[in-house]
Structure 1
Amino acid sequence: MQSEDFATSLCPCGSGLKPAKCCELNVWTAGPPSAAARSADGPAAQGVKAFKQGDYPVAARLAVEALERSPFDPVALKALAGVRELEGRAGAAITLLRRAAHFDTSDYATTVKLVQMAIARGGAEAAEPHARQAVRLSPTNPQAHYLMGMTMTQLGRHALAAHHNRRALELSPRREPLILTNLATNLLETGEIETARELFREADAAQPNDRRTLLAWARLEEIDRKFDDAETLLDRVDQIARNNPQATLRRATVLGRRGRVDEAVKLLDERASAGARQLGPQELLERGRLKDRLGLHDEAWADFSAGKARALELGAGAYDEAAANRLTSNLKTYFTRERLAVLPRAEDRRDGPQPIFILGFPRSGTTLVEQTLSSSDAISAGDELPFVGQIAAISPRLLSSPWEYPGSLSDLLLGDRREGLDDLRNFYLASARRMGVARDDTPFFTDKMPLNETHLGLIALMFPRAPLVHVVRHPLDVMVSAMSNFFTHGFGCGRDLESAAKHLLMTADLVEHYRGVADLNYLELRYEDIVDDQEATVRRLFDFVGVPFDPKALEFEANERYARTASYAQVKEPLYRRSRHRHQNYLRHLAPAQKILAPLIERLGYEVEPLAA
């Protein structure tokens, strides 16, 4: 019983320290370690010696002893972190290394270790500040730029990732195949398919049969509809690593796109029955999508649900409903008609390309609308631009405000801050130009970042005349798509059915609030209208954004650009109707969402009808 009491008195992070000497410490009020703690014959130094000799239990004991005396001793922290990492307690190791890095911000080795460990755990958000610090500390070190590129790749910021991967190549004594592969992946995501293909070829020639290169290259060929080439590359992966799960998933995707859906399902079924490992989240969702196409709707839903549950088991964060509610409440409280009447607006700027904001919940049809608009030579596709969210986050600093967003916008009422919105707008436009989406040869570019409608008030202040195209779709159809895909935005909504429904209702209510208090250049566009009467709806869309109708827009599938969303395959096909009324096949499973979304379904004028016999 005594040992159990001791165990429960230790910090839950797994460091082996007591909470008061670990995660309960306030690093901002603590001083550096004492001179006695840094003694060459002290327990910290002896712990490092034991670690180097491979005596890890002794190293851990001595490091804990040192840290109980001096909790911020970097030598002891790094020694104990090394032991915990070897024991498989990566979370504890990261906690200890962060504490060490806090007191020695110039420690490049510890900074790099933090990046590597965070990325290995899929925590690119946690890796980002350390990746940035690594570049600051060692700007001519190719490793620092490579790690920054890898972090930005995982965060989906591919233009920034490409910059750092290019810099890593410039600084490296040779063109490293792994950096070439990472750069090719970035360029694929920014639509530079031919350049990406050449880089994959170069990487493969320099290091033949590297699994990562072949898998990434196969994905490019699948996206570019060169299915034979994709399968040839996957055959090579099979020769190197039989039954590789990523290769199996990619091959199933290729088979599905070729219309060989039964074969694709069989392949994943065989993978599941092999028993080596259970199907991962992506494999389960892919099999569910394939079964949906075969009309096996109950089996498809079972796979969707299992995929979501598996993702949570593997560490995907749950929906942060409290944070979502808090932000929504703050925005509704702040953005009132009275406050908007006194807040300034950014001046209209027409000396370069201007944004068209495509708003809408994920899987509502925003990619289809962007592909349609960017068929015109007057509009370039920006895809999912993160700038609005970034501006909201850094607005306190940009406006020198003591308040968090949205309260930070009240500083615009001060005489020396009244032009602050011009600065925010310029930040957005400069970021778009750096990313290469604001081009001199087109007067407009699109921004279809999911859930940008959350910040509709901020957008209206920065770009009062910008077209706001809000794509709406039957809420229950959106829910089916939400269950069959993973979302990357919205506080982790979409981890399960109920969280997706709650967040859809929350954002829809917020849009209604904005429309009631702000003067918006707003168009609601229904996905179903595009399907039912494409030409009339598309003409109305072009008329709204102020661009002459281009007949090419009716053949959006011929648009050469790669849409880097879950819809990339659909927008390479002619307009199809099978995504309409999908919910009718899943009404029994959608009952919890239908209850949540009933007010929104009624408000939008949709109906819920059972599938006709």
Structure 2
Amino acid sequence: MTESPAQVKLGYQLLRQGRPLDALRLSDQILRSSPENPHALVLAAEAHLMDEKLVEALALMERAIVASGGNPILKLKKGRLLLEMRRRAEIPPLVKDVATQATSNGNLLWLLGNLCYRCNMQSEAIRYFDAARTLIGDEPGLVYELALARFFSGASEQAERDLDRIPANSPQSAYAMYLRATLRKQTPQRNHVADLREKIRQGTRTQADTASLHYALAKELEDLGEFDESFSALRIGAAAQRSTLRYDVRHDIAAMRAMQAAYTAEAFQTQATDGDAGEGAIFVLGMPRSGTTLVERFLTQSGQVRSAGELPDFPNLLTEAVAHIADTRADLTPAAASLGIDFPALGREYMRGAREAAGGHRVFIDKAPLNFFYCGAIRMALPRAKIIHLWRDPLDNCYALFKTLFFGAYDFACDLEDLARYYIAYDQFMRHWHMAMPDRILSVQYEDLVTTPEIEARRIYAWCQLEWNDAALDLPKAGQVFATASAAQVREPIHLRSVHSSRRYWNQLSSLRDTLTAAGIPLQP
């Protein structure tokens, strides 16, 4: 069919315009006369994916792979689909298959490493990124992704050497400078303050670059004890980051309040919550930067528990299930509609995908902090799951969030007013869960965790019905993965440096303090 390349091109234009059904009709026209046209099959798969029909998209992608003679790029597209479908056990064999085709293709090895990185297969990601760099050199984007995988795996010295290879004029440079600042504690003898100041003086291309450089400078100045200068840099970085976002904290607060209104103590009484669903699942949740990664460390060090990482699975499954009800019940909020879903089915699908993420281990941790939104739904779907809530001194927690540059997450963290309002709503939300679900959530305070670690760790093990093992208090082994902003700190011996660290900025955080205290959240100087 001589016109098919032009039609396929038109189909992708339709996808860019957000018209998947029109693109699908066009691909169907091509496939009627050329049923195994790989380009049309991929177009149809992409259209189904945009229309959130993943099963159909996967079937079409598999046909395209066969029709193309086993094109490795299409196999990687299939890998992305499998990840989105939570079919993680199928990804390692696919990775090995593509690796046999990628031995001399640096760009393909880079893409393969990226798939492994997204699947939290960091050692494999590092291997393929390294092999790609041997073939195509120090491509800045590749070097940055390699450094990030090393950071999560605890190879901070190597990551810093990688980042030093990124040219100052590359698009990744500013992000690299922030990552470099977070790899270790900076010292008077070894820091990048002068370099960062010079880069800021020269000017930046985008607000995102301005944010990255100022967050990096703030972090290094704080390490050096230059607290006033650090906070001044942080203010500039946070304002720049906020300017890149389209975020309204009222939407998150409304979502929390809707959950509170729907998931009452009475609602739990009318739902069947018995059975063995969730056996082996441990949810570690709370505000980000509250100590969740330290709990993950304690639980995984004994070898009895495997971390599945910070999974998006539970909220995604809940959203998918609610969408089917919302189509016919427009009068209900999503939270109220969620009470009508098939919770056992949700629980089964969650356990399947999450356990695959944990390598099939019987007991696993899901450490997505914002799962605190879903404590009620977790109880409905997974009545045997364990929930551990981390909380921390409110001002310390808020400051730890404010000083961290998150990429694509926690948009409330870069504005002190948004942060205060979000924290207040979170505090009220967790009080609701404890009242509506008494004795279902173990609360652990970060300050207790670092002051009396063995006492708290034993309490956590008892809650999870795990046999105590002294290895829980050991430092993480080399290569152990923590895919989180706290990846550097969690490898250190337990310390009290972060306790009341926000008090250095007591005056600078006055607006945050005033809002928190007005809401009844007590703060001590």
TM-score range, shorter chain: 0.7 to 0.9
Which deviations, in whole Å up to 9, do the C-alpha atoms of 1:402-433 show, x marking residues without a partner? 44643334446xxxxxxx33212111111112
Q: Does 1:570 align with 2:489?
A: yes
Q: Does 1:544 align with 2:482?
A: no
How much has 1:310 moved relative to structure 2?
Answer: 1.8
Structure 1: gaps (5+ residues)? 1-44, 46-51, 53-73, 83-92, 117-125, 413-419
| Residue identity matched to 1:567 | S
Q: Tell me if the contact between 1:356 and 1:468 (Cα under 8 Å) persists in the aligned partners.
A: yes
- Quote the Cα distance in structure 2 between the aligned partners of 1:222 and 1:333: 41
- Quote the Cα distance in structure 1 between the aligned partners of 2:50 and 2:246: 16
- Quote the Cα distance in structure 2 between the aligned partners of 1:162 and 1:188: 12
3-state SS of 1:451 partner = helix
- Quote the Cα distance in structure 2 between the aligned partners of 1:259 and 1:128: 51
1:355 corresponding residue in structure 2:
281
Report the CA distance shift for 1:268/1:135 in structure 2 as closer, same or farther (over 3 A): farther
2:239 corresponding residue in structure 1:
309
Q: Tell me if the contact between 1:291 and 1:299 (Cα under 8 Å) persists in the aligned partners.
A: yes
Which deviations, in whole Å up to 9, do the C-alpha atoms of 1:449-475 show, x marking residues without a partner? 122111111111122232211111011
2:377 corresponding residue in structure 1:
458
Q: Tell me if the contact between 1:358 and 1:370 (Cα under 8 Å) persists in the aligned partners.
A: yes
3-state SS of 1:374 partner = helix
Report the CA distance shift for 1:490/1:75 in structure 2 as closer, same or farther (over 3 A): closer
One of 282, 293, 299 as aligned partner of 1:373: 299
Report the CA distance shift for 1:590/1:529 in structure 2 as closer, same or farther (over 3 A): same
How much has 1:519 moved relative to structure 2?
Answer: 3.9
How much has 1:333 moved relative to structure 2?
Answer: 1.9
3-state SS of 2:225 partner = coil
Q: Does 1:422 align with 2:350?
A: no
Q: Does 1:607 align with 2:523?
A: yes
Q: Does 1:586 align with 2:508?
A: no
CA RMSD between the two structures: 4.2
How much has 1:569 moved relative to structure 2?
Answer: 0.4
Percent pairwise identity: 21
Q: Tell me if the contact between 2:20 and 2:50 (Cα under 8 Å) persists in the aligned partners.
A: no
Q: Tell me if the contact between 1:218 and 1:230 (Cα under 8 Å) persists in the aligned partners.
A: yes
Q: Does 1:216 align with 2:145?
A: yes
Q: Does 1:395 align with 2:325?
A: no
1:485 corresponding residue in structure 2:
404
Q: Does 1:532 align with 2:451?
A: yes
Aligned ranges 1:132-531 → 2 under 5 Å: 137-139=60-62, 140=65, 142-146=72-76, 166=95, 169=98, 176-188=105-117, 192-226=121-155, 229-234=158-163, 236-238=165-167, 244-254=173-183, 256-257=184-185, 259=187, 263-275=191-203, 277=205, 279-313=209-243, 315-321=244-250, 323-349=251-277, 354-396=280-322, 402-403=328-329, 405-411=334-340, 420-439=342-361, 443-487=362-406, 492-531=411-450
Q: Tell me if the contact between 2:153 and 2:479 (Cα under 8 Å) persists in the aligned partners.
A: no
Report the CA distance shift for 1:428/1:554 in structure 2 as closer, same or farther (over 3 A): same
- Quote the Cα distance in structure 2 between the aligned partners of 1:349 and 1:96: 39
Which deviations, in whole Å up to 9, do the C-alpha atoms of 1:521-544 show, x marking residues without a partner? 221110001122222222222222
How much has 1:571 moved relative to structure 2?
Answer: 0.4
- Quote the Cα distance in structure 2 between the aligned partners of 1:437 and 1:282: 35
How much has 1:362 moved relative to structure 2?
Answer: 0.7
Q: Tell me if the contact between 1:355 and 1:447 (Cα under 8 Å) persists in the aligned partners.
A: yes
Structure number with the bigger relative contact order (C-alpha 8 A, sep ≥ 6) is 2
Q: Tell me if the contact between 1:363 and 1:482 (Cα under 8 Å) persists in the aligned partners.
A: yes
- Quote the Cα distance in structure 2 between the aligned partners of 1:224 and 1:176: 25
Q: Does 1:101 align with 2:101?
A: no
How much has 1:365 moved relative to structure 2?
Answer: 0.8
Q: Tell me if the contact between 1:178 and 1:203 (Cα under 8 Å) persists in the aligned partners.
A: yes
Q: Tell me if the contact between 1:320 and 1:491 (Cα under 8 Å) persists in the aligned partners.
A: no
3-state SS of 1:316 partner = coil
Q: Tell me if the contact between 2:140 and 2:167 (Cα under 8 Å) persists in the aligned partners.
A: no
Q: Return the TM-score normalized by structure 2.
A: 0.80
Report the CA distance shift for 1:127/1:233 in structure 2 as closer, same or farther (over 3 A): farther
Q: Tell me if the contact between 2:310 and 2:368 (Cα under 8 Å) persists in the aligned partners.
A: yes
2:68 corresponding residue in structure 1:
none
Q: Tell me if the contact between 1:305 and 1:483 (Cα under 8 Å) persists in the aligned partners.
A: no
Size of the aligned set, in residue pairs, is: 499
How much has 1:282 moved relative to structure 2?
Answer: 2.4
3-state SS of 2:443 partner = strand
Larger radius of gyration: 1
Q: Tell me if the contact between 2:450 and 2:496 (Cα under 8 Å) persists in the aligned partners.
A: yes
Q: Return the TM-score normalized by structure 1.
A: 0.69
3-state SS of 1:364 partner = coil
- Quote the Cα distance in structure 1 between the aligned partners of 2:192 and 2:44: 39
3-state SS of 1:311 partner = helix
3-state SS of 2:191 partner = helix
Report the CA distance shift for 1:527/1:548 in structure 2 as closer, same or farther (over 3 A): same
